[in-house]
Structure formats: C-alpha cells, structure tokens
Amino acid sequence: MAGPPASPPPVSGEPVGTLGGPSTPSVRGTNVSEQVQHPAADDDLPEQMRVRRAKREQLLADGVDPYPVAVARTAELAEVRRRYADLATDTASGDTVSVAGRVIFVRNTGKLCFATLRAGDGAELQAMLSLDRLGADALAAWKKLVDLGDLVAVTGEVISSRRGELSVLADRWEMAAKALRPLPVAHRPLGEEARVRQRYVDLIVRPAAREIVRARAAVTRTLREVLHTRDFVEVETPMLQTLHGGAAARPFVTHSNALDTDLYLRIAPELFLKRCVVGGLERVFEINRNFRNEGVDSTHSPEFAMLEAYEAYGDYHTMATLTRTLVQAAAYALNGSHVVVHADGTEYDLGGQWAETTLYGSLSAALGEEVTVATPMAELARYAARHELAVDPKWGPGKLAEELFELLVTPTLHAPTFVRDYPAETSPLTRAHRSVPGVTEKWDLYVLGGMELATAYSELVDPVEQRERFQQQAGLAARGDDEAMRLDEDFLRAMEYGMPPAGGMGMGIDRLLMALTGLGIRETILFPLVRAE
RNA sequence: GGGCUGCUAGCUCAAUGGCAGAGCUGCGGACUUUUAAUCCGUAGGUUCAGGGUUCGAGUCCCUGGCGGCCCA
C-alpha cells in the first residue's frame, strides 16, 4: 500500500481515456471545453459520493485496481462458519483462508479494526485487521479507503475473538469492488418505493428480500419437479401473438417491423397448450409470463407469472387433485409443513383435503334464497339491488350471478376452497357440465378471504361448439367489449383434428407466493413494473 | 375513474405560519477484542416542480409530477 495518506487527491474527474477516448471522434476536433465539465459535474455530487470517488482515485494512484478481475478466495463465508462452528472462544485454528464479502459494519479502533462481511446468501463473517499482522501501511490504507458497502477480500487465519466471534485475522486485504454510493441505514427499513425501484439495494440490506427470491425459486422448482414426476412435458409457447386469446383480458399491443403487423403480448398460453395436446403432448405445462393491460394494485401486476397444465383424459376433478398436490408440495418445500407462516406471523393451513362448494350453492346460502342458473335476470337484479351491487346493462344473468358471488361469498373463503360449476355464459372455453344443465365443469380455487389462486376446466373439445362460443365472443367484441375473445381460425383448425378429453389448469405463481408468504404482490416480484423516474 | 394521504440531508424521520433539525452515514481526532462499538469535534439542504396568499410559507391555497392506502 502506498505511503502517507497525506493528500486527498485532486478531484480531477475521470482518468483520461476511460470515457470519451480516442474512439469518440466528436470529442477530438471540436468542443474540448465540454470535456472539462466532468469535474464540475462531480462537484454537484453529494459529499459522500465525492469522497468515495476520491478513494477510488487514490487506489488507482497507489497502483491498486479498485475493480480487480479476481481476488484471492478459497472459501465461502458460510463454509467457514460451518467448518469452524465449534472453534472455542479466543482460540486460533491454525488454518488460513481467503474470503470475500460486502462490508456491512465497521468497528475501527486504533490498532485493531473489525468489519462484518456479508455474502449474497446472507452468511456473515467477521474480519479482524490488526497492526501487528498487517503492518502500519496496510492498516492505514484499510481505514482510509474502505467504506461501508465495499466488497473486499481478506486472507488470514481463522480464529475466534475474545468475545467468541468467528473471524478471519487478516494478513492481507484487497479491494474486490469499490462502492461509489453509500449504503442506506442498515437497521431501518428502506422506504417502500426505494425498495421496489432499487431492489438491488433492498437485497443488500434486507435479509427478507433475499429470502423471498429464494422462496420463489424453491416454489417454481418444486412445481416443475412434481409435474415432471407425473410425466408432464414442459414447453414454451409464443408470447408474441398475432391474435390474443385464452382469457378475457385487455392485451398489450406491439409492432413487428419485419412483418409490418401489430402483435399482441399473450394474455394466456391456453390456446397453444391445447394445440400441443392435439399434437399428442398429452401431459403438458408451461411456466411463464402473461401480460394484461389492466390495473396495477396490491393483487394485480401487468405482467405476472403463471403455470398452465393440461392433461389428456383428465378432467376438472383430476386437475383439482393435481393443484392441491402442487400447492402442498410448494408449502412443504418452503416450510417443511403444509402449514405456512405468513410475514405477520399468522399460520395458514394448506394441508389435508380442501373444502368444495358450487357457485350457485354457495350463492344461495349467502343470499338465503334459492338461486340456480335458471334464475331470471329480474330476480337476480333484485338481489343485486338488495346488496347495493350496481348492475352493468351488458351483463347477462350468468355474469350477474358471478358478480354477486364475488361480492357475497369470496370474502368468506379463507381456507382453500374449490368453487365448482360456473355459468356457461362466462366460460367460453369450458365444457358443459356432464349432468347439470346450464353450467360448466369449471372450478376456481379461492384462498385467503377471496384471492383467486387457480382455475381449471374440463376442456371444451368439440370444434363446432367451440366455434359457436367464439362467435358469441366476437359479437361481444364488436359491441365494444375489449376483453372479449377473438375468433382464432388456426386454433379451431387444430381442434378439428380431434383433441382428446382433457383437464386444464392455470395457477398464478405470484399469487401462490402471496398465499404461501402473506406478502403483497410487489414483494413477490423481484422487479415489479413502476413508472419511469 | 373517485376519495384519503405522503414527498424535508446519502438513509430513516422531526419541525403552532416565525433562525430547517435529530439518529445513522460521511469527514477530522482518540482507542489492540469490537458486535448497529464507544467518546470528542465537524460538515452536509433548490424542503418534488411551478404559481398564489402573507411582513414572513417546509407548513395555507391552486396546478402539475411521483408514490402509498381505500373504493368502483
């Protein structure tokens, strides 16, 4: 380390050549004065950033790369913790290791410095830097040049301090990457917006932020494993589509220059997965993103991850069993139990068999009046008025019954509940019930007081009936319902080759994480969409 | 779309219409066993932007921007 830390380097801006070097011709001939503005811009930086930039300059001046291509590293922090877990207080192991991590706390005394290093997995290890081991220059350089947030590497003996803290007593230290921005206060939560907009900082300072990322990975891996063991094949179907279909939702529109045509970001993979089933991929699934150009709030994100699975010769009963298996496996992967613990400490039991009811049955119970798919519009409208539900004139009786159900029943569905047999009117891709007229073989799975977690059908596979349902939807679209589905000729052509009877299921991955953790959707998505700064 | 609410130092937050502050962070100093180290000293601000009321606006009013919560 270079000697006396006498002169704070002249803050003379970027070293020549890094930016605007010879490769940028515009700089050379003309406006040289513009180049000199870099230092001036630096002067506008907050003091703490100027200081850190100056330290970077000092390192360079000392001939030390603040961003070396590699540093000595023989062990991970967690590995050292594991291996020396039993090292007695105030003893030395005799073993030398090289470790690296981010400096999150510093406690400097005159001739002995302590720093807490943290690795990406959350493991922490103390580094000790003493005058007698390091020498005056290296110790002075440490104190002068290392800030909270820097990534450093330390080589030394694994010891336990007098207070019993497992530590690396440094013979040598190196800068692994100099941080130019200060870390936020480590023990106070970052503001909501900063957490979302600068997730990287959130991840550095908040262990729970890292845990949710790993929880999500554990969940998606578990879903895949369960499906693979049941011989489901994972596929990836188009996210750019010339027609949007498979759900009732407003799409995002984009444009292909090559084809000179507008394209839609998919709102659901359903119609492509069914093409797969027609082709003989009898058990097929996809986990990927859907995009819906709709509201953004605590349960809705414009892009959201979804699992869809189709099983030939299955139906909505087999999909219910599959769904319960998947959710319970995910819960088990997170918590080792079907009872998960939410962020607020409450327990949520996903175990055992789940409650089942029907839409009209549960609605009748809530209304105290017998309601069926045959109940006329006028009567339903009276119930709506009784409960102060505004009725959209575009609604039919099926849609109104569903709205009443959502208003009166779903808030009461706290434990996981399958709600079966929806009106045909609102389910254009669903097969008619095999014994109950007017309803379809569809269920919605509700959790946590009304959050819709998954849905499944016994799929409609009759191409003629499918065409009629599409035509009804096209009529709605023509009347200005921009959520209505478009007629997809190629999909119908596929169906005309014959699709086996099948069950299909879709589950929101973000919502599954919410149900398993009790967190809001913006916490379960690493980088949720936010307005540009 | 409607209602409520927030935006102040790098971070988290204070400040009856009357000198813009604290803790942490930073900087200078002391300290060879600290644990969010401690102690002494010190710096740091376009109070989101623009307009208005006022002798005087972070504070009140209007418009806009960016968030959050609740409702449809």
Cα A190 → chain centroid:
19
The C1' atom of B33 and the CA atom of A133 lie apart, in whole Å, by 15
| Contact between the CB of A128 and strand B at under 7 Å | yes
ipTM given for this complex: 0.85
The C1' atom of B63 and the CA atom of A251 lie apart, in whole Å, by 33
Q: Report CA torsion sign: A83, A89, A95, A96.
A: positive
Max CA-CA distance within chain A? 91
| Contact between the CB of A341 and strand B at under 7 Å | no
Structure tokens at A458: 């016994």
> Chain B positions under 7 Å from a protein CB?
9-13, 23-28, 30-38, 43-44, 66-72
The C1' atom of B72 and the CA atom of A371 lie apart, in whole Å, by 26
Query: What pLDDT sits at residue A487?
Result: 83
| Contact between the CB of A149 and strand B at under 7 Å | no
| Contact between the CB of A478 and strand B at under 7 Å | no
Residues 88-107 of chain A in contact with strand B via CB under 7 angstroms? 90, 105-107
| Contact between the CB of A187 and strand B at under 7 Å | yes
pLDDT tens sequence across A97-123? 999 999 999 999 999 999 999 998 889
The C1' atom of B63 and the CA atom of A531 lie apart, in whole Å, by 21
| Residue A380 · residue A401 · CB < 8 Å | yes
B43 C1': nearest CA residue: A47
Name the closest nucleotide to A105, judged by C1' and CA. Answer: B36
| Contact between the CB of A375 and strand B at under 7 Å | no
Give the range among A171-175, A293-297, A495-499, A502-506 with minimum mean pLDDT: A293-297
pLDDT tens sequence across A322-336? 999 999 999 999 999
HEC secondary structure over A237-292: CCCEECCCCCCCCCCCEEEECCCCEEEEECCCCHHHHHHHHHCCCCEEEEEEEEEC
Confidence bin at A377 (pLDDT 50/70/90): very high
| Contact between the CB of A47 and strand B at under 7 Å | yes
| Residue A167 · residue A125 · CB < 8 Å | yes
Residues 162-181 of chain A in contact with strand B via CB under 7 angstroms? 162-165, 167, 181
The C1' atom of B34 and the CA atom of A217 lie apart, in whole Å, by 37
Say if residue A6 is exposed, middle or buried (CB neighbours under 10 Å; 0-12, 13-18, 19+).
exposed
| Contact between the CB of A110 and strand B at under 7 Å | yes
Q: What is the mean pLDDT of chain A?
A: 86
pLDDT tens sequence across A4-60? 333 333 333 333 323 223 333 332 222 322 222 233 344 556 788 888 999 999 999
**Mean pLDDT of the A276-304 span:** 88
| Contact between the CB of A190 and strand B at under 7 Å | yes
Say if residue A490 is exposed, middle or buried (CB neighbours under 10 Å; 0-12, 13-18, 19+).
exposed
CA–CA gap between residue A209 and residue A43 (Å, rounded): 34
The C1' atom of B9 and the CA atom of A189 lie apart, in whole Å, by 18
The C1' atom of B45 and the CA atom of A188 lie apart, in whole Å, by 22
| Contact between the CB of A297 and strand B at under 7 Å | yes
The C1' atom of B10 and the CA atom of A6 lie apart, in whole Å, by 26
Name the closest nucleotide to A146, judged by C1' and CA. Answer: B26
The C1' atom of B23 and the CA atom of A185 lie apart, in whole Å, by 10
| Contact between the CB of A298 and strand B at under 7 Å | yes
The count of C-alpha atoms lying within 13 angstroms of the C-alpha of A289, restricted to the half-sphere facing its C-beta, is: 13
Q: Mean pLDDT highest for which of A169-173, A385-389, A395-399?
A: A169-173
Greater confidence, A420 or A478? A420
A475 CB neighbour count, 10 Å cutoff:
11
The yes-or-no verdict on residue A233 having pLDDT over 50 is yes
| Residue A377 · residue A399 · CB < 8 Å | no
Name the closest nucleotide to A161, judged by C1' and CA. Answer: B33
Beta-strand pair A166-177/A124-130: parallel
| Contact between the CB of A347 and strand B at under 7 Å | no
| Contact between the CB of A126 and strand B at under 7 Å | yes
Query: What pLDDT sits at residue A25?
Result: 30
The yes-or-no verdict on residue A480 having pLDDT over 90 is no
The yes-or-no verdict on residue A138 having pLDDT over 80 is yes
B48 C1': nearest CA residue: A533
Beta-strand pair A166-177/A151-160: antiparallel
| Contact between the CB of A11 and strand B at under 7 Å | no
The pLDDT > 90 percentage for chain A reads 60
The C1' atom of B48 and the CA atom of A364 lie apart, in whole Å, by 52
Global confidence as pTM: 0.84
